[in-house]
Amino acid sequence: MKLLRSKRWTGFYAAAMTLFTVYVMLDTFVIPRSYAVAETVAQSAASSAGTGETGSFSGALGKAMTKRTGGSGTTTSSSASASASKTASAASGSAAASSGTVYSDGKVTVTMTDYRESDTDIHVADITLSSADELQTALANNTYGKNVTEKTSAMASEHNAVIAINGDYYGAQNAGYVIRNGKLYRDKSSGTATEDLVIYSDGTFEVIKEGEITAAELLSKGAWQVFSFGPGLIENGTVTVDDNTEVARAMKSNPRTAIGQIGKLHYVFVTADGRTGDNDGLSVKELADFIKNTLGCTTAYNLDGGGSSTMYFNGSIVNNPTTNGRTSERSVSDIVYIGKN
């Protein structure tokens, strides 16, 4: 009888543990949890800056913004696109001008160029802005939370973006600083060595380590956007990764997404294809070398890659996103974008 009871309790315990494990997995990767509603950039400028996981806010963005003052492969696109971009910008005034590779509206100019390196197609958006607050972010369903996702192209369309890339997929993590459009949503560090990209209110890029500064301190210095993925690729014009650097759990060659700064209000969005017969993908070092040597960035940062890598320009996806071995766009938690004026 005791043996029978023991077996029953063992069975109940095993079943309970199985259910608990299933729940933990669902809670981690599937069940969406909404913590706060994201505000538009216009609303952010007029409201207070936030803190913590719950999305409660304190301190004015305007005050934070005053803390900052100042600020090799073969291409498949014509080199004339850059000069065409400048011409369109000068001629357009307040009217937008666009083509298959260039968009300009007098405030924003985007020039698209495709490269082929390391048996991989690389898509580059060269971006010049008139103001740093045009470099914006959006959250899936306009909601800060966990497992809240939407396709990059859908978010871009909803926010009238001319150019967009996937962000750091903050919602797949329980830690890592999250500051978006001047609001602090998460101040929990994911580790002292974690490298974040800070975009300040004057448009300056900086790669920092979470162990050396708090999210609140970054906000007080005028942080406009903060991404927690990494690693940093280039700092002060120097490549900061080597052949042994890799994102945790990633393959050596992968689809990639990166963002970089060339100069004042001059940026690049970059995606590299991979995981297909035609595209090997890039290592982190190959990505960094390309961005420095070919694009001339002084600061650059690796965003979420793999199946998340997506670039959207003027209503269309320009790269080849892959999910589970097929060409398909993955839903993610956030994007970086430039809107149409």
Q: Which range is most confident: 53-57, 164-168, 171-175?
A: 164-168
- Strand pairing report for 322-323 and 326-327: antiparallel
Q: Which range is most confident: 34-38, 224-228, 319-323?
A: 224-228
pLDDT at 4: 58
**Between 207 and 45, the higher pLDDT residue:** 207
166-182 mean pLDDT? 96
pLDDT at 269: 98
Which has the minimum average pLDDT: 10-24, 34-48, 52-66, 234-248?
A: 52-66
- Of the pLDDT bands very low, low, confident and very high (cuts 50, 70, 90), residue 84 is very low
129-155 mean pLDDT? 97
- Of the pLDDT bands very low, low, confident and very high (cuts 50, 70, 90), residue 80 is very low
Q: Are 127 and 109 in contact (CB under 8 A)?
A: yes
- Of the pLDDT bands very low, low, confident and very high (cuts 50, 70, 90), residue 25 is very low
Encode 260-269: b = buried (16+ Cβ within 10 Å), e = exposed: bbbeebbbbb
